[in-house]
Amino acid sequence: MIFSSLIKKKEELTTLPETATLQEALTVLENTGYRCVPVLDKSGHIFRGNIYKMHIYRHKSRNGDMSLPVTALLKNSTKFVSIKDSFFSVFFSIRDLPYIAVLDEHNQFYGILTHNRLLRMLAAGWNVNNGSYVLTVVAKDERGALMNAAKEITRFCQIVNVISLDPDHSSMKRILFTLPTDVDHERMEKIVRRLEKRGFEVPEIEDLHQGY
């Protein structure tokens, strides 16, 4: 389920009714600076799609009729998620969009989830403000590898955060461990030596002391 704190609710948004003309939509987009806004039905409850500034400009440059309703250039009409959807389904649905519409339990427009809010949440999960180093540990993609690597690290300190990556779908996993702020350089090196002794590779060490 999507965290409600991440959603920008309908009452906070600039939206357009489906009856608005392209000229009216362009005026709103130019005045607000948004590149697109949600379009709702006459009741203001049903999501119809998004209207993009670039599509209106293109239409206008071709001497298109600006008195047409926004529905003539609607995009992303099927790009929405439910407030009950899992985080992973939302994450992959929003990939190519500046935001994605969120519907409530009754399939009515609830608000939007923007790329920026999602990235801020991921950054918070990374715990860069509560960490000292991020160790990239390469391990075989097999049962118990993550547990074993974590076990070696927790001999020396707690683990603030863990992210497992598999960009190439290979037989090796890249696991990113964030160490807590009280871990100094000497202790970090001891952790790395211990991991390497146990057969893990540590190709990257990111120093979070340098600040973000």
Q: What is the pLDDT of residues 134-149, one digit of tens each?
A: 999 998 878 888 999 9
Q: SS3 of 105, please? A: coil
pLDDT band at 169 (very low <50, low <70, confident <90, very high): low
Distance (Å, whole) CA 211 – CA 105? 42
HSE of 1 in the Cβ direction (CA atoms, 13 Å)? Answer: 6
pTM for this entry: 0.68
Structural domains in the chain, sorted by start: 4-120 (3.10.580.10), 127-210 (3.30.70.260)
**CB burial of residue 43 (10 Å; 0-12, 13-18, 19+):** exposed
Contact status, residue 101 vs residue 80, Cβ threshold 8 Å: yes
